[in-house]
A and B are shown apart, each in its own frame.
Chain A
């Protein structure tokens, strides 16, 4: 089977698997799939919904890819996104709410990025300095970050009326410019994919990151520190995921609440693996999963199939695309540094 067809085959199989499961549990797969289709690409508003879901998936997918390329398993994009949303909201509603737009918006996005960098950096530091597996630490940090958001919206960031656990709406100066519902983050995310490609394949730092991911030992002998670069990959990935979180509050929801963009960080892993860790391929991959998520909502509303069903597709795609890849996931080698 040609390299290009394999991801499509994996997707088809995954959808088939999900359809089977639906059938077994008493749901009708046909109408469900149709609703999925209609809700994602069947109309103008559907496409909008898809693109809005695609943007954060793109950014977090890139975040995960960078980590995996360096041999660091970033399972923490979920928490990094949440922290980014938290920091962005804090800056927009509490710290600097009165700044004019040209200043506030970039600062808000920067705050989101820094929050993510911090979270990813903690996991990276634990890995580099204490040998703690980043698989476990990023997962634990996810839980911690989600609780921090909870803490914030019940406390310091809670809206002034104190009625619900959510933040005040962001001031207009902090919102992303948009056309209809499509915010600037959508094309920016695509641009980010191109930038990440250039970073990985045309910069010295990206070159070193890739070397570490393929053979930490040989990289060490070449003067490249595997621990340091793994740390960097986790921090950079965190930053990208943090920006995704900032874009969610500044472009989609307009405020922070618990459960903002749930599951994006985990879907990001599927996005990255389906794209075989290639930043440019992350674009179509994220589009696919964005469509899936957009369609899932429609599916639940019109046919009553719970939207969690799409997580089954995600998991199946992850494992099937890896199974049919033949070679191991590029760059995510479990290489030993000794």
Chain B
């Protein structure tokens, strides 16, 4: 099946053009062709009316021709300063390098397009929004006239998205063409001049601003209306399944440090914790998984204090669905069966008895789970690194559910999943809730968190802030930015 099939895209100077499509539709592939990282099997590229020799097109040439990209995953070097990051590109000239001179060069640009960034600081110490601005600055500094932004708003708060919109508007006024790749319909609606919708590698619609609203765009993107998630009644009770009391933990950065968290999860409810990268999400996940040692406070399950270690938490009935399934949830290189029983190597008598590992039992259990969860392929001996994102997540979900947990901590449960797989995961979480277990969903996808949760908390600079029941996206965004109290 072709990833791209006869796609035509036209960009005008001085426009913001959105490229819309769900995960796997072909957006990134198309852009990689534009940027010279990928050579197409057929078709051509024209820049300023001149056809390009695709055989010689490369990222270096693209950069020289004024095409710049800002990636979804930051392409800056964390250990170097912003000024150094702006200076090492292949297109830069000059043997000697002086940080001060580099900074001067860029300052004018930064002011003009409202892209303020501390130039002398290490990228690793910057916020996500600042990193993004630095990347845009880098592309501009090299004279980019065509800017490609890949899912730029995925990690920004609504306030930062506004600021980005302002910068983009001034770039547009300057005559730049901006391609805005996204699957976030609200932002596309707000920012774009024109929209091209991709579905399964084909262009299914070309629209101007205002020609379609978010719902229509969604229908075009997915091919049909996706029914909204049916939450259904929970089995909410007063019983406190899971509590954090006064929990503090060191952070990877100052804003990630957890300070005196208080939290109570009742049976039959889904508690959503919304948080933006860099505010302690990662640290909180690691504490709840038992991998990060808290400096103060305690974790309680059904009123009993539990030691902060993965095994103790698991014995107490707490399961953890990792936000990073490739490197923290599953072991790449081991089979589906081995991954299925991974967490039970100390306690699970079904597969590990008297020091021995019963591989046959593991394979049988994994095969059975694969059937039940419609894993494709359903082979328990298959190396999990060969599974697609959706199937790998299904395996991880199956594993956590197999331990019949009282509490499930699900972090970014649908990251990188197509709509079908994402819907499946959400349904599993709701089923747990209906069965009387408790679920904590930690995510930076505000839509997801708002759709699933019975109650919402916001994680802001390492503190948990309650969110009023009737809060909308704008209010939640403001809370996350620290701009509004509950």
Do any CB atoms of chain A lie under 8 A from CB atoms of chain B in the complex? yes
A residues with a Cβ closer than 8 A to B are: 201-208, 210-211, 214-215, 217-224, 330-331, 333, 335
What is the CA–CA distance of A202 and B328 in the complex, to the nearest angstrom? 24
Beta-carbon contact of A204 and B333 below 8 Å: no
Interface flags, B310-343, vs A, CB<8A=1, else 0: 1100100000101000011111111000100011
A218 to B320, CA, bound (A): 12
Question: Considering the complex, which residues of chain B in the window 332-362 have a beta carbon less than 8 Å from any beta carbon of chain A?
Answer: 332-334, 338, 342-343, 345-346, 352, 355-357, 359
Sample (23) of A-B pairs whose CB atoms are under 8 Å apart: A201-B357, A202-B359, A203-B356, A204-B345, A204-B355, A204-B356, A207-B352, A214-B331, A217-B327, A217-B328, A218-B328, A218-B329, A218-B331, A218-B342, A219-B342, A220-B291, A221-B291, A223-B310, A223-B311, A223-B343, A224-B345, A330-B333, A335-B327
Distance A210 CA – B342 CA, assembled complex (angstroms) = 11
Contact A211 B311 (CB under 8 A): no
Alpha-carbon distance between A168 and B150 when the two chains are bound, in angstroms: 75
Complex alpha-carbon distance, A23 and B322, angstroms: 58
> Does chain A have a CB within 8 A of B289?
yes
Given A220-B291, A223-B290, A330-B333 in contact, is the A207-B328 Cβ separation under 8 Å?
no
The 7 tightest CB contacts between A and B, nearest first, are A223-B310, A214-B333, A223-B311, A204-B352, A215-B331, A222-B343, A218-B331
In the complex, chain B residues whose CB is within 8 Å of the CB of A218: 327-331, 342
Question: Chain A residues with Cβ under 8 A from B289's Cβ?
Answer: 221
User: What distance in Å separates the Cβ of A182 from its nearest Cβ neighbour in chain B?
Assistant: 33
Add 11 more A-B contacts to A211-B334, A221-B322 (CB < 8 A).
Answer: A204-B355, A204-B357, A206-B357, A207-B357, A208-B345, A214-B333, A218-B327, A221-B328, A222-B310, A223-B290, A331-B333
Q: How far is the CA of A208 from the CA of B310 in the complex (A)?
A: 14
The B contact surface, by secondary structure, is mixed
With A214-B334, A333-B333: A207-B322 Cβ-Cβ less than 8 Å: no
In the assembled complex, the Cα of A215 lies from the Cα of B332 at a distance in Å of 7
Q: Is the CB–CB distance between A222 and B345 below 8 Å?
A: yes
Which residues in B have some Cβ–Cβ distance to A below 8 Å? 289-291, 309-311, 314, 320, 322, 327-334, 338, 342-343, 345-346, 352, 355-357, 359
A334 to B402, CA, bound (A): 31
Cβ contact within 8 Å between A211 and B342: yes
Partner of B338, one of A207, A217, A220: A207
> Mostly helix, strand, loop or mixed at chain A's interface?
helix
Q: Tell me whether B355 and A203 are in contact (CB under 8 A).
A: yes
Roughly how many angstroms separate A82 CA and B335 CA in the complex, as a whole number? 38
Return chain B residues, CB-CB under 8 Å to A202: 356-357, 359
Of B289, B342, B356, the most chain A CB neighbours within 10 A belong to B342
With a cutoff of 8 Å between Cβ atoms, the chain B residues found around residue A203 in the complex are 355-357
Residues of B within 8 A of A222 (CB): 310, 342-343, 345
Cα-based distance from A331 to B331 in the complex (angstroms): 11
* A208-B345, A211-B342, A215-B333 known; A223 vs B309 contact (CB < 8 Å): yes
Expressed in whole angstroms, the minimum distance between the Cβ of B42 and any Cβ of chain A is 30
Q: Give Cα A203 to B332, complex, Å.
A: 20
When distances are taken between beta carbons in the complex, the residues of chain B under 8 Å from A204 are 345-346, 352, 355-357
Q: A205-B355, A223-B290 are in contact. Are A214 and B332 (CB under 8 A)?
A: yes
Residues of B within 8 A of A331 (CB): 333
The closest CB in chain B to the CB of A338 belongs to: B252
Bound CA span A214–B326, Å: 12
CA–CA, A206 to B289, complex, Å?
A: 24
* A17 to B342 alpha-carbon distance, docked (Å): 44
Closest to B309 in A: A223
Task: Collect the chain A residues with CB atoms within 8 Å of residue B314's CB.
Answer: 223
